[in-house]
Amino acid sequence: MLRVFLTSIVLMCASCARLDHVQISDIDQSQGPLKAISVKVSNVGFDAAATTAIAADLASSESARDNLGDLAAILAMFNMGPRTGNPVYNDRYAEGLLQQLKQQCESGKITAIRNIREAKSYGTISGEIVRIDADCII
């Protein structure tokens, strides 16, 4: 019991930041002072196949290990395709970014837009993040 508790604590603390993509646009410092603005949206990523594969490795009985191994293979087949990080269950979570960015800048003039795709990864669970940092020309 103590071993499970200690393992859980270690797993909870062992998160990693992951950077997938960064891109920066034109920077205009000629029109006035700049104010930093930022918008971040995120969604829970979960790799069901990898989780099941880990469960199969940890299973004590041979039959459970076989069944979980089969399940992991089936789940992988149902989730085929390229992926950045863990899969999410909503592909429209990053849609309101432009409006949110515009709301933060009263002048409407935004420069030095940094598009960042990153994640906080906890193994098979992660927070998949889309972030836009920019400067508002005041």
Partner 1 sequence: MKVLLLLPFMLLAGCTHSIHMVHSDGFTERLQEITKARYVEVETTQDVVFFFAFDTDYVDEAKTKLEQACPGRLSAVSTQYSTSHGFFHWTNKILMKGMCS
The residues that touch partner 1, with contacts defined as CB under 8 A, are 20-21, 23, 25-26, 48-49, 52, 67, 71, 74-75, 77-85, 87-91, 93-95, 97-98, 101-102, 105-111, 113, 115, 117, 128, 130, 132, 134
Smaller CB separation from partner 1, 6 or 32: 32
Smaller CB separation from partner 1, 25 or 29: 25
Structure-token match 């098979």, residue found: 124
What are the two backbone dihedrals, phi and then psi, of residue 78, each rounded to the nearest 5 degrees?
A: -80, -10
Smaller CB separation from partner 1, 15 or 50: 50
Provide, rounded to whole angstroms, the least separation between the CB of residue 23 and partner 1: 6
Provide, rounded to whole angstroms, the least separation between the CB of residue 8 and partner 1: 23
Provide, rounded to whole angstroms, the least separation between the CB of residue 62 and partner 1: 16
In whole angstroms, how far apart are CA 101 and each of 65, 89, 132, 135? 49, 24, 8, 10
Rounded to whole angstroms, the Cα distance separating 24 from 111 reads 10
Provide, rounded to whole angstroms, the least separation between the CB of residue 118 and partner 1: 11
Six token digits for residue 56: 């199969």
Structure-token match 């515009």, residue found: 102
Spatial contact of 78 and 59, defined as CB atoms under 8 Å apart: no
